[in-house]
Amino acid sequence: MVIVKRALALAVAMVIAGGCNPKPPDPEDYVARMTQGRQQRDIQLQEEAEPVPANLKPTLLPLVYFPVDESYSVPAALKTLEKFEPVDLVTSTGSVDKYERVGHLEFTLKGQPLRLTAYVPAGQPVTRLFVPFSDATSGEETYTTGRYLDLDRTGSGIYQIDFNLSYNPYCYFSTRYICPLPTQENRLPVRIEAGERVKAKG
> Residue 112: how many CB atoms within 10 A of its CB?
10
End-to-end CA distance of the chain: 28
> Residue 133 in contact with residue 149, Cβ under 8 Å?
yes
pLDDT digits (tens, 9 = 90+) for 165-191: 999 999 999 999 999 999 999 999 999
- pLDDT at position 14, please? 36
Residue 19 has pLDDT above 70, yes or no: no
What is the identity of the amino acid at 84?
F
Query: Which string of b and e fits 9-28 if b means at least 16 CB within 10 Å?
Result: beebbbebbbebbeeebeee
- pLDDT at position 200, please? 79
pLDDT digits (tens, 9 = 90+) for 51-99: 999 999 999 999 999 999 999 999 999 999 999 999 999 999 999 999 9
- pLDDT at position 35, please? 95
User: What span, in angstroms and rounded, lies between the C-alpha atoms of 192 and 137?
Assistant: 7
- pLDDT at position 139, please? 95
Give the pairing type, strands 96-109 and 73-90: antiparallel
The model carries a pTM of: 0.85
Lowest model confidence (mean pLDDT) among 11-15, 106-110, 163-167, 187-191: 11-15
Percent of the chain with pLDDT over 90: 82
Residue 122: φ, ψ to 5°: -55, 130
pLDDT digits (tens, 9 = 90+) for 117-151: 999 999 998 999 999 999 999 999 999 999 999 99
User: What span, in angstroms and rounded, lies between the C-alpha atoms of 33 and 39?
Assistant: 10
Starting at the edge strand found earlier in the chain, the sheet holding 158-162 runs: 147-152, 128-133, 112-121, 96-109, 73-90, 158-162
- pLDDT at position 201, please? 63
